[in-house]
Amino acid sequence: MARARLSAWPERDQTIVLLSVYAGLRAGEIAKLRWGMVLRADGRIGDLICLEAAISKYAGGRRIPLHRDLRLALVGLRRSLPAGGGAPDQPVIRSFRGAAMRANSIVNWFTAFYREVGLEGCSSHSGRRTFVTTAARKAHKAGASLRDVQLLAGHRSIETTQRYIDGDSDAQRKLISLL
């Protein structure tokens, strides 16, 4: 996040990172996200991302509660736009020219971003992977299940969700010691 704050468009770049890490959005979903999917009826940023089926993989729209940091980033990004830029039909993430970024542009943005911060082997999917793994590890604290994580991620099967979850040998040792 420190690197995103230093960019030419910090509000946009921080929002891109947070949409990946705190909402688990795919590059194509980030690219196609419109303000109307995050706005309440009164025109203010709401508490949910209502991802439309048309922009989701497998046409599986979903509702994702907004993390407080992501909500604040969206508010800041909207304020940074010229008048009318935050209208419901407008893209949340834009290029410097003002047009919606394409999915491939988001993929390339992440590649360059991770290279700049020295993270090898990371891709546009790394934040999504972090989102799923972190949500799965903390689900029990919220009274949630792996099924809830599956729904938030928009996976068709629980097996797909399970493939995202990285193991933690320290946690495994602690778990065994509790038996």
The domain segmentation of the chain, as residue ranges, is 2-121, 127-178
The amino acid at residue 106 is I
% the chain with pLDDT above 70: 100
Q: Tell me the backbone φ, ψ of residue 13, rounded to 5 degrees.
A: -65, -40
Structure tokens at 108: 């390339």
Local structure of 168: helix, strand or coil: coil
DSSP 34: B
Mean pLDDT of 81-87: 88
pLDDT at 82: 87
- For residue 179, is pLDDT > 90? no
The pLDDT of residue 32 is 97
CATH superfamily of the domain spanning 2-121: Intergrase catalytic core (1.10.443.10)
Q: What is the largest CA-CA distance in the chain?
A: 59
pLDDT (0 to 100) of residue 172:
77
* pLDDT tens sequence across 135-175: 998 998 999 999 999 999 999 999 988 888 877 777 778 87
Q: Is the pTM of this model over 0.75?
A: yes
